[in-house]
Structure 1
């Protein structure tokens, strides 16, 4: 038997190994540079006014009149912040008294509505959901006069219950939409298993659905708190003078026509008004993203 020689395997070029994913990520393509430039420009666009507001709030009026808007304060002072808090502290606590019930009640009602529409589906559920969904797109200004007339006839116009009730009414559609879409992503087998175990409407909601709803509750709370806290038109119309929220009092502080316009106090009052929504976003931003990804915008 003759010896057979196998063909030699082609030599592998070890000097031309493909680039690793880490090496590819380090390369800055024109598209990536464009994205970074856009993100930097967008961040600068939003952060530059905030920077001016913060440094101006720590300046004296003499330094502000010098005209160097972007310069850091030569001698920082907290007097503008003390004056601003003295003028808007009442509105701050009014906003707290309005925001807390105007957040808890719509979230609770929206969770019940979304749970019922997703699993129990009573007769006319689709029509009810359509009506609620249509209510989310009705402009607030269209409903102001009818609500003023009804609350005046009921004798609660200009009171704390009036402004809370208005925010509950306008918050119900979007809260129902959020929870309905969130519960629609929950497997029906989980609900059927709870039904087989003898669970009723409230037991399943309180012991099964509500404990697993923390991400969407955080999303709904952020949206509702931000909307209620930043509201101006509803607070101006329905809250009355004794319960005017912080945004209404901020408008009165900034647009005062008596004496010299104190820009440092105005900037400090504006930052105080925006501090609560900003703090909520920074503290619970991770939960907000998780809730959105878990089904808040699915349908």
Structure 2
């Protein structure tokens, strides 16, 4: 009992430490790059803005990309936690289950139709619709043959839809050379070149997704016990599943609209955070949000220095980390 009582203060201290580290890395991300600044220049860029190149670089380039990386990282990580409970599959994430790919397909189709006139405000509902349609298709395919979600069918359905969406996306790009540059820049997954307006336009959807995810945290603990046990404990299973799916769509769709299809954040972060925070989703969700933000901000920061003065898109950096992580989890499941 004593150790149980002391667990929450330890978890709270760990979360506070994570937030402090995240804020430090975000500050470092704003200040460091091809051109580096000090804290004084950062303060002057907002308190004594004079329109200089340095102040413009800080306020219109570095700060927006850092804030967007943090928001997208947190959203994808939380979406991954929810999907792994919803599907009872440790390999589940928005990228692995094709939700990112479906959202990407719809956005690329819109880019082909409307070209550079398509704004981030226009991308948001398109990405959300693509994420929603893909999620419904994957879950319907995963439920065929018995009415209940089957983990193996769900995984195969997600992988198939992801491959199908990626093929259609590539075909659209190849057939429409005019939209090629815009589509490729967006599809590679990057927070570079994004503006503060991008974050302002996706933030309402992300915030709603965060609130829904945190609100269903206690219910996710019950859902993890299995459908029959959850119903036996009086949980309204369909309602919670619907809210969980809505949270994933909001979080994944808005992330794709803001930064393109960044893969593997939702796969890696929940596993790392479970080792620290345990299985209680009231703690796992906020831990994953902080860790996801930290991962993406850190990956974006490191991507500036790998091939300096050129930058590696952050989507490539997360893929390089995520593929061996996915293989390691798959191998561990095979041996369990």
Is TM more than 0.5 here?
Answer: no
**TM-score in terms of structure 1 length:** 0.32
Find the structure with the greater CA-based Rg: 1
Pick the structure with more helix per residue.
2
**TM-score in terms of structure 2 length:** 0.29
